[in-house]
Structure 1
């Protein structure tokens, strides 16, 4: 897999996330020309001043921690060098799904998939869920239609922001890591957030 292909796969995952998902957020750093994501649990590392909290320990490397904190501060301050990767709007998936339904001839399948289209909401992943007996060609055609749409959206995003992925990199944290938070200084109580169990970075499934 080439670096550019890896970035495109990563962007597809970012674009097709449900609009209501608060697990992982995708960005581009114009200064470093680097794509990166922030996990929601990363914010547990910070205190009210956006610094590493005194009661927090993490197995991130020092370099990784510093990069995360610097970027989270920039995001908090609306730094123009950090560009959020957008997600498709709620109407976009419905329109693409409806267009795909127009290519089908099996009325029972159309009715079943149309119901999925109508129930598409901000918590729902942009996808159809086919039954096992559905023809493989239909599934492949849907994946092609969805991929074409998402890549068109990605191309528009890259062009509008003058981003050349051939000259960009994808920031990868070496360790998924865990974050430990002492809940009180007067006891041994500790909250441990194991990020490997909380959420595996979705784009890694594409590798």
Structure 2
């Protein structure tokens, strides 16, 4: 359900005789009801839904009755990775062991395969602006610069993982990576967290603690 009406190509169709659809329309006059491609969202239609999984939507009239207009999503299809909100951050990423997108995606995939050997990360999307926390120490004699000692990033995500038996699960939550001892590589420590069904506000508060929980040495 949506209060807005997407600007997609429209056609006239006969709405299905579905009591649930009719009830949704009656409860949301002037809006629209999305049609979700169940093959792309696994077994939980109430979980995270990528934009590509929306086949289209039925337009609702101001009287709460389906108008017979159907707006078809031109981007409907197989979901793909989207790390735009991560790469758009003005952040110093050299503390990570590699390019940020590949490194974070690879770490998430490793966590998933540790849980289910043979699982495949089909796609991953950063769903909101990540949260970054950093801490440093002053350089003697230079009040304008700091030496980076610890940092971390919390990345809100939605993703699809397929098990070896063919089952697809859509997961959402926040992936967090924190590192300390960055000023002394011999004593550097890293730790990751995978918090399912957690929003970025909660994970952002936890991040401020977690960058200090990573033990050095």
TM-score bucket of the superposed structures, by smaller chain: under 0.3
Structure with the larger strand share:
2
TM-score normalised to structure 1 length: 0.21
Q: Which has the larger radius of gyration?
A: 2
Structure with the larger helix share:
1
Higher relative contact order at CA 8 Å, sep ≥6: structure 1 or structure 2?
1
TM-score normalised to structure 2 length: 0.20
